[in-house]
Amino acid sequence: MTSADVPAEPPAGGPGVTVDAPAEKPASTTDWREFAAVVLLAVTAIVTAWTGFQASKWGGAMSISFSQASTARIEASRLEGVANRKVDVQVSLFGQWLAAYQADDEQLADFLVARFPEPLATAFPVWVESRPLKNPDAPSTPFEMEEFAIPELAAAAAADERADAKYDEALRNNQRGDNYTVLTVAFATILFFGAMSGRMRNPRSQWGFIIVGAIGFVICSGLLIFYPKLV
């Protein structure tokens, strides 16, 4: 038998069967998935750094506000101490005048009145004109008069108000810093979804991770827009 008499082998798959080449996944689908993942990762990385920066800034603002509150509280305490010393001195002088008045020692009484410091020097004549010995509605001492106003007491009260305001501001700044810290963690989670999308073999899983990350990004970005910011 010659080689011409040997029948040719049938094509693979049997006679009459055509074997098609395996279908290739469209390149455009993979490109769009990779493009979406890259955009999500890049933008989220930038926003994550920004939220971390804001958390740090608000933490610094909180520390400054606490320091200012402490300084104002110390100033209020100092001013109140000065005011109390003034009141003690003036109460003592008034007591000496009252003793001299009761003893009918006009010379000593006049000597003391001439040396009354402010605000007793202003309040005392008004108190005397109210005739406290005969008028039951008159204040019992000049220290109850509106004219008896020590500036240090008013300054101490104002410093206390500043301290309270700065303390409340520090608490607000602390909460704002915590809010940005939570956002930083949330954006870091979005980065995880974007990175995991490239590790999946199933295209549906890949798109699923990207979509979940994108939804989270939109929600967190909406919160970020309304948060106060420090530059």
- Residue-by-residue DSSP string for 176-206: HHHHHHHHHHHHHHHHHHHHHHTT-SSHHHH
Write out residues in the chain with pLDDT < 50, as ranges: 1-4, 6, 17, 19, 27-29
At CA 142, angle to CA 99 and CA 100, rounded to 5?
15
Contact 87, 119 (CB under 8 A): no
In a domain, 231, yes or no: no
* Per-residue confidence (pLDDT) for residue 230, from 0 to 100: 85
Query: Would you tell me how many other CB atoms lie within 10 Å of the CB of residue 39?
Result: 13
Give me the domain span that covers residue 218: 49-226
Distance between CA atoms of residues 228 and 87, nearest Å = 46
Contact 123, 147 (CB under 8 A): yes
Q: Which amino acid is at 205?
A: S
In a domain, 61, yes or no: yes
Q: Structure pTM?
A: 0.70
First-residue to last-residue Cα distance in the chain: 94
Distance between CA atoms of residues 86 and 123, nearest Å = 14
Nearest to 79 by CA among 146, 1, 160: 160
Contact 87, 71 (CB under 8 A): no
In a domain, 170, yes or no: yes
* Per-residue confidence (pLDDT) for residue 131, from 0 to 100: 87
Contact 165, 205 (CB under 8 A): no
In a domain, 24, yes or no: no
* Per-residue confidence (pLDDT) for residue 187, from 0 to 100: 93
In a domain, 120, yes or no: yes
Distance between CA atoms of residues 218 and 62, nearest Å = 29
Number of domains in the chain: 1
In a domain, 131, yes or no: yes
Greatest Cα pair distance, the chain, in angstroms, is: 163
* Per-residue confidence (pLDDT) for residue 51, from 0 to 100: 93
In a domain, 16, yes or no: no
Distance between CA atoms of residues 161 and 155, nearest Å = 10
Distance between CA atoms of residues 26 and 96, nearest Å = 105
In a domain, 19, yes or no: no
Using DSSP's 3-state secondary structure scheme, residue 104 falls into coil
* Per-residue confidence (pLDDT) for residue 140, from 0 to 100: 86
